[in-house]
Amino acid sequence: MIRMLLPLIVFAGLLVLLIFGLRTADQREIVQSPLVGKPVPEITLPGLNDPETTYSTAELIGEPYIINVWGSWCWACREEHPYIDRLGREAGVPLVGFNWKDEREDALRWLNRFGDSWSFHMVDFEGRAAIDLGVYGAPETYLVDHRGVIQHKHIGPIDATVFEDLMRRIVQMRAEADS
Amino acid sequence: MIAEFGQVSLILALVLAVLLATLPLYGAYRGSDTLMRLAPSLVIGHFVFLAAAYVALSVAFLNHDFSIANVALNSNLLLPWYYRLTAVWGSHEGSLLLWMLMLGGWMLAVVAFSRTLPREFLTRLLSVMGIVSIGFLLFTLLTSNPFDRILPGPTDGQDLNPLLQDPGMIVHPPLLYMGYVGFAVAFGFAIAGLLGGKVERDWVRWARPWTLAAWSFLTAGIALGSWWAYYELGWGGWWFWDPVENASFIPWLVGTALLHSQAVTEKRGSFPAWTVLLSIAAFSMSLLGTFLVRSGVLTSVHAFAHDPDRGLFILIFMAVITGAALLLYALRAPRIMTGPGFDWMSRETMLLINNVFFAVSAAMVLLGTLYPLLVEFMGWGQISVGPPYFGAMFILLMTPIVILLPLGPFTRWKQDEVMRLLRPLAASAAVAIVLGLIISAALGAWNLRAITGWIGGIWVMAGAVAWAVRQWRGTRSGLALHQWGMTLAHFGVGVFLIGVAMVESMTFERDMRIAPGQTVEAAGYEFTLHEVAQVKGPNWRAEEARFTVNRNDREVARMNPQKRLYHRGGQVMTQVALRPGITRDLYIAMGEELDPASGAWSIRIHIKPFVRWIWGGAALMTLGGLISAGDRRYWRRRRAESRRADTAEVPA
């Protein structure tokens, strides 16, 4: 009888392990970007509304800021747009739009329709600078501190939970910058 | 409307599954013929409603009904109609629907082809499968409803994951699921047998064609997945020991063991309990695979939307199904433990060795897959074992199988003599060693892996042929279908071995910088890049490199790899250029543009010798399995015996 129960016992052990695995699944799911903790690469790109102006990440050093990667073609960017609105109003730090692999006209029309809450936009139509930045896809949101170091990166659209988390981190970065 | 229609169909299918799992089963317990007679009709109704739900979702995809979340997330206006149809199973929810449709289909097939099984047995079998179906229907309706609405619906959908926009992907998941779900039939047979209280050799024979069919589908599904990863993912590998791959490979290993143990139990009546246990294990491992893929427990390249709630559901479901099955096994197996004895040198021993090695391999893969979890559980930090562990382990475990494989069919049941066995195979062994050495030398593949691969592969192939020839001469009627099937499948193992050994030891692989107009040389081939052009597809645009490949100043191929950007999701995908061949594949994948001024790109060139043999071997195994499953022997005798069983029941 005991011998017959052996498979059941082994299976029970397997279940315990899997239940444990399930409980810690969230932690494993976070893809760590290799760039977190490293300085933002120096990127110089033209603006969206103002193609004559160029913006550079080097100019932004000194205060914390947010980089948000988006494109008019990106469905999930529309989804997160309400939270981008709120970030623009509530974060109290520059919110840099990184317009990725887009067409100028499409992007401007999109902003007209849904609202432009970003401080300014850099455009990367070719998608070359995005490679330096380690962009996986749009949307993506980076938090950069006053020393120009990437503190955090969120891949995918921002929802209520992510928004709270981002705000908490931004407040912390601002406090650090002030001290 | 269509979504609600699908939803209602699913609920009705659930109602029928619940009826199927209860009334006829109670009927079999009480001996009520009326209740048992319900089972086939319930199975038909169950299938009809599942099919209706499936069609409903397909129609929604075809008509761009973006108010259904699943459609909005996995399709868009630009997607061609055939990918809209296959997008049905591109998502977690839709693939579950496909899974259930197949379970319903297998049940229908059991009803259609096994009408002559003893009624109690058939009833129990169908009821057990009904229970499995309840679990999946509940899972779908409660946690992963494919018909959920988003209102107001968006004007356009996102896109089907570009990885899945590929012909290989059209057939890979259905085949894989056919295999996974097919093991539910073997599981049903085992449980029905346990419930009946007797392990008869009969039901093992009845289960064989179903197991063979399921195993063949699984083999084909895994091979296609490997082939797809090879050309679509742009990595140039054919197997990655990724958790999700392992999740399909474990049931395959257990299923292979099951096939062989069924042979013993059917023919000789030995180790019946082990066969039952393997039947339970094969299906449980399929469930475990489902769990691993969809719960986010292990990180993998196969990105299904991870959801711990879903994971918990499958885990509970698995606990109930497998737990109950194993409990039943513990209660009933002691009665069926006994089988006739056999000598150490006998076909039984050979098949036992096969079983031990396959079962241990399955356990090792399972351990390796779950090892990161185990380590974390024990608090040893986060690590992963990776391909080296699996590779080393497999060489160790498969070597004895390769050496002994040709001996198996030659060995007599019950007892045999070593010398009788060695004589006919001495020629095969000599041929294998001589030919293996010559071919390796001729190909310039003078390394241990290639040489052992050739010798082992030829040994297995020659052994299979030698057996078939002897069998043919020995009997007037020639080989039975199941013998043809076995020969073919074993021959396929040899082909597969050679493919693996050559790819693993002789692959040429290099990243190069190349500008238009330049020529690079690799392993005797000259690759010339002419230009990099912009091209457009229905829902993507791409940069396309145009190559010609020369060998000895003769053009052998024109190859155009692409780097695609999909408009909707913004995903960048490498579309590799492949020139397949029997003895080698040429393979070019585009990397990054290095220098816009000169137009130089980084390009990855692979030359993969004999890589087709890997899938060719798998195709032979699949074919062998299917041919065996079609053998009249399993069906004819079944009829005779069930007739006998029927008449025996009449007086009682």
pLDDT for residue B162 is more than 70: no
Residues of A in contact with B327 (CB under 8 A): 8
The full length of chain B comes to: 652
**Chain B environment of A102 (Cβ under 8 Å):** none
State the pLDDT at residue A167.
Answer: 92
Which of A124, A123, A65 lies closest to A95, judged by CA?
A65
User: In this complex, which of B312, B333, B570 lies closest to A71 when CB atoms are compared?
Assistant: B570
- Which chain A residue's Cα is nearest to B324? A8
For A32-40, what is the mean pLDDT? 72
d(CA B576, CA B492): 28
pLDDT in tens, B538-585: 778 888 999 999 988 888 889 999 888 777 656 667 788 888 888 888
Average of per-residue pLDDT across B421-450: 89
Is residue B385 predicted with pLDDT exceeding 50? yes
Residue B648 pLDDT exceeds 70: no
d(CA B519, CA B385): 40
What pLDDT score was predicted for residue B296?
59
B291 vs A contacts (CB less than 8 Å):
18
pLDDT of residue B497: 95
Subunit contact A17:B374, Cβ cutoff 8 A? yes
Write down the residue that tokens 């997945």 correspond to: B225
Per the CB < 8 Å rule, is B592 touching A71?
no
| In the predicted structure, residue B535 carries a pLDDT above the cut 60 | yes
- Tell me what percent of the residues of chain A surpass a pLDDT of 70: 89
Distance in angstroms (rounded) separating the CA atoms of residues B517 and B527:
10
Which amino acid appears at position B522 of this protein? Answer: A
Contact A74 B569 (CB under 8 A): yes
Q: What is the pLDDT of residue A25?
A: 60
- The answer to whether B579 and B559 are in contact (CB under 8 A) is yes
Q: Is the Cβ pair A22, B571 closer than 8 Å?
A: no
Q: Cα distance from B538 to chain A (closest Cα, Å)?
A: 15
Query: By a Cβ cutoff of 8 Å, what residues of chain A touch chain B?
Result: 1, 4-5, 7-8, 11-12, 14-15, 17-26, 28-29, 71, 73-76, 100-101, 127, 131, 137-138
Query: Which of the residues B277, B278, B284, B326 would you substitute to probe the A interface, choosing the one with the greatest number of A C-beta atoms within 10 Å?
Result: B326
Query: Which tokens is B240 given?
Result: 């990655």
Task: Report CB contact under 8 Å: B334, A29.
Answer: no
The residue type at B428: S
Q: What is the pLDDT of residues A130-168, one digit of tens each?
A: 777 877 667 889 999 988 888 888 877 787 888 988 999
Mean pLDDT over residues B610-632, rounded? 93
Please tell me the distance in Å from B355's CA to the nearest CA on chain A. 16
**Percentage of chain A surpassing pLDDT 90?**
15
* Chain B residues close to A127, C-beta within 8 Å: 565, 572
Q: Which of B512, B509, B527, B532 is nearest to B599 (CA)?
A: B532
- List, in order, residues 6 or more apart from B274 with CB less than 8 Å away: B261, B265, B355
Residue B141 has pLDDT above 50, yes or no: yes
The top-scoring range by mean pLDDT among B3-17, B335-349, B597-611 is: B3-17
In the predicted model, what is the mean pLDDT of residues B622-629?
94
**Cβ contacts of B280 on chain A, cutoff 8 Å:** 7
**Cβ–Cβ below 8 Å for A22 and B377:** no
pLDDT of residue B11: 96
Contact at CB, B291 and A18, closer than 8 angstroms? yes
CA distance B367 to B425: 36
Minimum-distance CB partner of B277 among A7, A131, A137: A7
Q: Please answer yes or no on whether B570 and A100 come within 8 Å at the CB atom.
A: yes
Residues above pLDDT 70, as percent of chain B: 89
Of B151 and B464, the structure prediction assigns the larger pLDDT to B464
Interface of B with A (CB under 8 A): 154, 156-158, 277, 280-281, 284, 288, 291, 295-299, 306, 308, 311-312, 315, 318-319, 322-323, 326-327, 329-331, 333-334, 370, 373-374, 376-377, 565, 567-572, 592
Cβ–Cβ of B568/A75 closer than 8 Å?
Answer: yes
- Which has more pLDDT, B307 or B454? B454
